[in-house]
Every structure is written in structure tokens, then in C-alpha cells.
């Protein structure tokens, strides 16, 4: 007797849902205090209740990202920064390092040294953020630094926030490197001034990348101004090589926001904060429509992708059904060729009974004829 098996039941596939909203990342690029140009963009996103899923800070942008993730509101950020960050932090020269550079035999300069003393700056960051861990920030925050030994970017997503912010903005050799887990880490701008690739890796849908620049000082009056001129040129070179590649690789929308100041704004010019924020407002006005279009365009793309997935799924199911039907027909044909009597074997008892009765009647008729023939002889 043939054993019957239950037909296989395929698990019903659920159609992928269309995301209700795109994921949004905000990159706050390097350039010291000028990173605060990003404040108007953050304000708009908050007013529109647009959730930021990821914030990446580089150099001065790391400080703003830390403020945002630690729960400071926009007014607090400006007030606290103005009151706690002292311009003298960036003019406190370490003369031992200077003598070491001059190779006088009195001072010293090595991989742990810097031209400036940064103890006060580090203590300020510690007072602001205490023992806050990067992994506890909301939204999720990444701090970009550079490994002094290899020149490669190091992305920090956990660990002491105050130390990470210092390391991300440590403009070596002007400032000593930060030491985190045995690595000497310096300004993230040396390796990735606007780390769009970190968002691309995480498949963020809309990336707002804010980066800054200002004119070089045509007549630098001292070492510091000369150094920052060189730094600007260096960062521009890295940016122009990395940004086009990142945009080409991204799958949805990148909104680059380039904010350029007509004159140099140096690291220690805290009194220019209002001017910097105003420049951010002007840039935001020019980019607001672009961002709104990006959200609409994202929804269109997701709808088209959903429709394409549904079509491919329907085509796949149709092919599977046709293949199963054809296989069943082939199996039946093979079975008949192997056992021609299969059809008779499958007849029911009610179908077989008339055939048996017919044979019995035929046998009786033949027997009677034989008997008649025998008696006549």
C-alpha cells in the first residue's frame, strides 16, 4: 500500500515593509569653533521632529556632537561653551617643548609633546562631561580621531567622552595627542575631515554633511597663523579626494553643506561665536529646500523598490508553481511506464465485481455448449 505524505507547506513570506521615515545622519566636520555653524541645522531638525539616528563629530565638531548627545539644548550649548572655553587655552605655550624643538639640550619634544599646554582644556572637558561614556549618548554618536602611528582614522563609539573629544581636536604637534587604550590619537581631520563613509557603511538614508572653510591669512603675523594656513590647505586636499568617492558610493541622498567664511576665524576667537552661528543660519536657508526634497525623494525610491520586490516575488512564485506542476506530470508519466497495470490495480472492489460476474457467465455458456455437443454424439 502506497504511503501517503502530507503536502509540504511553504512558509508564507511577508512583504518587506516600507520604512515610515528615512534614517538621518548628521556629520559635523572639523574646523575648530566654526563647527558651531551646525546649530541652525540641528534646531530645524528638532523643530520638525525629525529624528537624528547618528551624529558623527570631528575635531571641533566632536565637541558639539558631545554636547548634543549628552542632552544639552541649543541655548545651553552656546552659553556653556562661551563661559567655559577660554581663549587662553590656545595661547599657553609649553616652553620646554619649544626648547626641545630647537634641540637646545634643555627641553624635550617627543610623541607625547605639544607646543601648547592643554591641561586646562582637558580639565574643562572633564568638568563638562564628567564620566560620560560615548555609548550612552543619544542619538548614537561617533567621534573621529587619527592614529598618530599609522595615520589611519580611528572611530570611537565607546569610552570616556571627554578624552575622546580632546583627542579628536588635538591638532598635533600644536597640541599633545590624546592617549586612549594605548593609542596616541590626534585630530580626526588629519585622516577624515568629513567622514561620510562611516554613514555609508551603516546604510544611512539621508546624510547631512556639514563642513567648513575660511580664507587663508594672506599675511600671517606669527607661527600660529602660519600653521593654521598650512592646516587649511592640508584639510582641503583630503576633503576634495574623499568627498566625491563617498557620494558615488551612497545609495540614497547626501546633502553636503559647505560653509565658507570670507576671512580667517582662528581657533581661539570665541567672541566670534554669534557670527559663526549666523553664517550657519544663512547656509541653512539655502539648503532647507534641498533637505525637504531629499525626504520626499527617499519615499519615492522606497515605494519603487517595494513595488519591484513585490513583482520579483510574484514572478518567483509563478515559476515555482509551474515547476512543481511540470515535475508532477513527469513523475506520473514515469510511474505509468514502470507499472502499466497500475491503473487496474487502483480499481475499486465495486469496479472489479462486474468483470468477475461477466467471466462467470461466459464460463457457464461455454460449458453448456460443450455438454450439448457431447450428448448429440
Helix (H) / strand (E) element for 131: namely: none
Residue 185 forms part of a structural domain: yes
pLDDT reading at 198 higher than 60? yes
CA distances in angstroms from 91 to 95, 140, 267, 280, listed in the order given: 12, 34, 10, 27
Residue 162 forms part of a structural domain: yes
pLDDT band at residue 1 under the 50/70/90 scheme: very low
Domain that holds residue 45: 24-282
Among the listed residues 23, 30, 168, 187, the single catalytic one is 187
259-290 per-position pLDDT tens digit: 877 777 767 777 788 888 888 888 888 877 87
pLDDT reading at 309 higher than 60? yes
Q: For residues 343 and 346, what is the distance between their CA atoms, to the nearest angstrom?
A: 5
Of 290, 227, 228, 226, nearest in space to 261 by CA:
228
Q: How many domains does the chain have?
A: 1
Please compute the mean of the pLDDT values over residues 348-358 and round it to a whole number.
56
Q: Is the peptide bond before 373 cis (omega within 30 degrees of 0)?
A: no
Q: Which residue has the higher pLDDT, 22 or 310?
A: 310
Residue 105 forms part of a structural domain: yes
Q: Write down the pLDDT at residue 68.
A: 93
Please compute the mean of the pLDDT values over residues 217-226 and round it to a whole number.
79
Q: Could you give the angle at the alpha carbon of 300 between the alpha carbons of 298 and 304, nearest 5°?
A: 115
Q: Could you give the angle at the alpha carbon of 132 between the alpha carbons of 131 and 138, nearest 5°?
A: 175
Residue 77 forms part of a structural domain: yes
CATH number, domain with residue 221: 3.40.1090.10
Please compute the mean of the pLDDT values over residues 78-89 and round it to a whole number.
84
Q: Kindly state the DSSP code that residue 174 receives in the 8-state scheme.
A: T
Q: Kindly state the DSSP code that residue 148 receives in the 8-state scheme.
A: T
DSSP assignment string, 19-64: PSS--EEEEE--SGGGGGGGHHHHHHHHHTT----EEEEETHHHHH
Q: Assess whether 59 carries a catalytic annotation.
A: yes
Residue 182 forms part of a structural domain: yes
Residue 13 forms part of a structural domain: no
Q: Write down the pLDDT at residue 3.
A: 39
Q: Among 48-52, 170-174, 209-213, 307-311, name the most confident range.
A: 170-174
Give the pTM: 0.71
Q: Write down the pLDDT at residue 377.
A: 44
Residue 294 forms part of a structural domain: no
Chain Cα centroid distance, residue 329: 50
pLDDT band at residue 5 under the 50/70/90 scheme: very low
Please compute the mean of the pLDDT values over residues 23-48 and round it to a whole number.
84
Q: Assess whether 214 carries a catalytic annotation.
A: no
Q: Write down the pLDDT at residue 256.
A: 81
Q: Write down the pLDDT at residue 188.
A: 93
109-153 per-position pLDDT tens digit: 888 999 999 999 999 999 999 999 999 999 999 999 999 999 999
pLDDT band at residue 187 under the 50/70/90 scheme: very high
Among the listed residues 23, 30, 35, 59, the single catalytic one is 59
Backbone dihedral angles phi then psi of residue 181, each to the nearest 5 degrees: 55, 40
Amino acid at each position: 500500500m502506497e504511503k501517503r505524505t502530507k503536502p509540504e507547506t511553504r512558509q508564507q513570506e511577508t512583504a518587506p515593509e516600507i520604512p515610515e521615515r528615512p534614517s538621518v545622519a548628521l556629520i559635523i566636520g572639523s574646523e575648530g569653533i566654526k563647527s558651531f555653524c551646525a546649530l541652525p541645522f540641528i534646531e530645524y531638525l528638532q523643530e520638525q521632529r525629525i529624528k537624528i539616528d547618528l551624529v558623527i563629530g570631528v575635531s571641533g565638531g566632536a565637541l558639539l556632537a558631545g554636547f548634543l548627545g549628552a542632552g544639552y539644548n541649543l541655548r545651553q550649548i552656546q552659553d556653556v561653551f562661551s563661559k567655559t572655553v577660554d581663549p587662553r587655552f590656545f595661547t599657553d605655550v609649553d616652553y620646554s617643548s619649544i626648547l626641545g624643538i630647537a634641540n637646545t639640550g634643555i627641553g624635550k619634544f617627543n610623541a607625547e609633546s605639544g607646543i601648547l599646554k592643554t591641561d586646562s582644556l582637558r580639565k574643562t572637558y572633564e568638568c563638562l562631561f564628567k564620566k560620560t561614556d560615548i555609548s550612552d549618548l543619544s542619538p548614537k554618536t561617533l567621534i573621529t580621531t587619527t592614529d598618530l602611528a599609522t595615520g589611519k582614522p580611528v572611530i570611537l563609539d565607546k569610552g570616556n567622552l571627554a578624552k575622546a573629544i580632546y583627542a579628536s581636536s588635538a591638532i598635533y604637534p600644536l597640541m599633545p595627542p590624546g592617549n586612549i587604550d594605548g593609542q596616541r590619537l590626534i585630530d580626526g581631520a588629519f585622516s577624515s575631515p568629513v567622514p561620510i563613509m562611516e554613514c555609508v557603511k551603516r546604510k544611512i538614508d539621508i546624510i547631512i554633511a556639514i563642513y567648513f572653510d575660511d580664507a587663508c591669512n594672506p599675511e600671517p603675523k606669527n607661527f600660529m597663523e602660519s600653521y593654521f594656513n598650512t592646516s587649511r590647505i592640508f584639510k582641503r586636499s583630503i576633503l576634495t579626494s574623499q568627498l566625491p568617492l563617498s557620494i558615488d558610493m551612497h545609495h540614497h541622498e547626501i546633502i553636503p553643506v559647505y560653509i565658507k567664511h570670507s576671512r580667517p576665524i582662528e581657533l581661539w576667537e570665541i567672541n566670534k561665536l554669534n557670527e559663526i552661528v549666523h553664517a550657519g543660519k544663512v547656509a541653512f536657508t539655502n539648503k532647507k529646500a534641498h533637505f525637504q526634497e531629499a525626504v520626499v525623494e527617499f519615499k519615492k525610491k522606497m515605494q519603487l523598490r517595494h513595488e519591484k520586490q513585490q513583482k520579483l516575488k510574484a514572478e518567483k512564485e509563478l515559476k515555482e508553481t509551474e515547476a512543481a506542476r511540470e515535475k508532477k506530470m513527469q513523475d506520473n508519466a514515469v510511474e505509468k511506464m514502470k507499472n502499466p497495470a497500475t491503473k487496474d490495480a487502483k480499481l475499486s472492489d465495486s469496479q472489479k465485481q462486474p468483470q468477475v460476474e461477466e467471466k462467470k457467465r461466459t464460463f457457464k455458456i461455454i460449458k453448456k455448449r460443450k455438454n450439448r455437443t457431447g450428448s448429440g454424439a
